Amino acid sequence: MVTLRLHNTRTRKKEEFVPLDPGNIRMYVCGPTVYDRAHLGNARPVVVFDVLYRLLRHLYGADHVTYVRNFTDVDDKINARARVLQEAGDGRALNDIIREVTDQTIGWYHADMDALGALRPTHEPRATEFIVQMVAMIQGLVASGHAYAAEGHVLFDVRSYPDYGKLSGRSVDDMIAGARVDPAPYKRDPMDFVLWKPSSAEEPGWDSPWGRGRPGWHIECSAMSHELLGPAFDIHGGGIDLQFPHHENEIAQSCCAHPDAGFATFWLHNEMVQVEGKKMSKSLGNFFTVRDLLDQGWPGEVIRFVMLSTHYRKPMDWTEEKAREVQGTLQKWRSLCRDVTPASEPLKHVVETLSEDLNTAGVIAELHQLAHAGDAPNLLASACLLGLLTEEAGGWEVHSHTDGADESRLAEIRNWLGAARAAAMTSKNFSEVDRLKAELLASGVEVRMSREAIELVPLPEFDSQRLWTIERRREWERAPDA
């Protein structure tokens, strides 16, 4: 069997993955807080851990892998979003608005992540479905001296857990010195974090031994992972932005609640997303949701490919240039694999490459070699391990930008361009070649010229009408009485 090696954030090194139970591989990934559309940064862990999910299913069997990704549907950001709608004229009770916001946002999330080719996890729990389990875990932490009640709140005592900070590599005192922390007077220590907090009459709330209230964010994932995967499981994942404080706090409360279990064995974190070389920010005007890119005409498979072109532990830079290159590559690959029966399984060396800490960029390099060799059956089977060239993700390359008439026009214009280039090579006058290239680019067609061939690739902004104009002008210029 192929050896899977993963970089464990907790130990800061690559380790051989040895499951707790080979018949029941368990993975938990922190999901979204559902108050708005998912942006590119939200989508990256979905794609990264979808690839790991596919790999684990391949190595151990689909029936032996359990994948949990939660929805945080009780949170102050959701409450704030609902209040904005109230202030804008929605006359319903706050809780009714919150339910609609969370239901709608979960629907958006599913549609957008489906478009990226992500498999649905085995379980997608909503936090509000596990309040009883959260209250029970908090009660246990209070009883064991790891948490305390104060002014309607329950807080975790970070000094009670000596290993607090090991995941992020910082001591509690260093954290206090270098971070802005809530100076609430009821805290024993500035780093103590909320497990339970009081709710007003209009806010979401549940009865508890400490009064009507709602859970803190961190306890939600600890309770849901425990309920669905048990006190110890194999892999816990998420974006690097969650390493501290969220994952640090999860470890503390879970290990104190179940001291003999150990919680997650492996911790995996993906790096952040940039856009055109800069941090994604609304103030810079480079903030994109997945839906923004889909609506701009970028196929979900293209977005996925761009993300997988960079190793998950390195910052990923979204650029339109990369997206155009990827789109052209996928069009070639899909054309090569059309009506081809895939090989029975991915090539072993492809699986080995991916098993070396999810080396997706290495796999893509091998897929290019398979495509260059014209090995469509193995290309198709191996690409599917990354969630690429799947039947569900296809169709865009044929229908999104061009139809049969467009393809015919492109073929004719390609011939004109080839003839113009051949003439220019003799005359050394490339003005006609440059004019045709400029017209094609204005029509939303990228021109790729090599010594052997000319390729015309329709982009998301492809304009069929302008392409037709090029063809008509060319016919007019060639007419005998022009």
284 pLDDT band, cuts 50/70/90, is confident
**Is the N-terminal amide bond of 245 cis, ω within 30° of 0?**
yes
pLDDT surpassing 70 at residue 399: no
Q: How many CB atoms lie within 10 A of CB 275?
A: 20
Q: What is the model's pLDDT at position 398? A: 64
Per-residue pLDDT tens digits for 43-85: 999 999 999 999 999 999 999 999 999 999 999 999 999 999 9
Question: Would you kindly state where each structural domain of the chain is located, as residue ranges?
Answer: 5-270, 297-386, 404-478
pLDDT surpassing 90 at residue 402: no
Interatomic CA distance for residues 412 and 401, integer angstroms: 17
Cβ 222 vs Cβ 125: under 8 Å: no
Cβ 375 vs Cβ 336: under 8 Å: no
Q: What is the model's pLDDT at position 475? A: 60
Which CATH number fits the domain 5-270, given the four candidates 3.40.50.1820, 3.40.50.620, 3.40.50.720, 3.40.50.2000? 3.40.50.620
- Chain centroid offset of residue 215 CA: 26
pLDDT surpassing 80 at residue 329: yes
394 pLDDT band, cuts 50/70/90, is confident
Report the candidate in 207, 204, 289, 194 with the shortest Cα–Cα distance to residue 245. Answer: 194
Coil, strand or helix at 170: coil
Per-residue pLDDT tens digits for 223-249: 999 999 999 999 999 999 999 999 999
Q: What is the model's pLDDT at position 481? A: 47
Cβ 10 vs Cβ 79: under 8 Å: no
Q: Of 102-111, 245-254, 435-444, which gets the smallest average pLDDT?
A: 435-444
Non-local (6+) Cβ contacts of 360 within 8 A are 51, 308, 309, 310, 311, 312, 354, 386
Tally of CA atoms within 13 A in the half-sphere of 393 that contains its CB: 29
Instruction: Detail the DSSP E strand segments found in 35-116.
Output: 65-69
- 0.75 cut: is pTM over it? yes
Per-residue pLDDT tens digits for 120-179: 999 999 999 999 999 999 999 999 999 999 999 999 999 999 999 999 998 777 666 555
Residues of the chain above pLDDT 90, percent: 73
215 pLDDT band, cuts 50/70/90, is very high
pLDDT surpassing 80 at residue 408: no
Cβ 469 vs Cβ 476: under 8 Å: no
Across the chain, what does the average pLDDT equal?
91
More confident residue, 154 or 391: 154
Structure tokens at 63: 């029936």
Cβ 315 vs Cβ 273: under 8 Å: yes
Residues of the chain above pLDDT 70, percent: 94
The Cα angle at residue 119 between residues 116 and 124, in degrees rounded to 5: 110
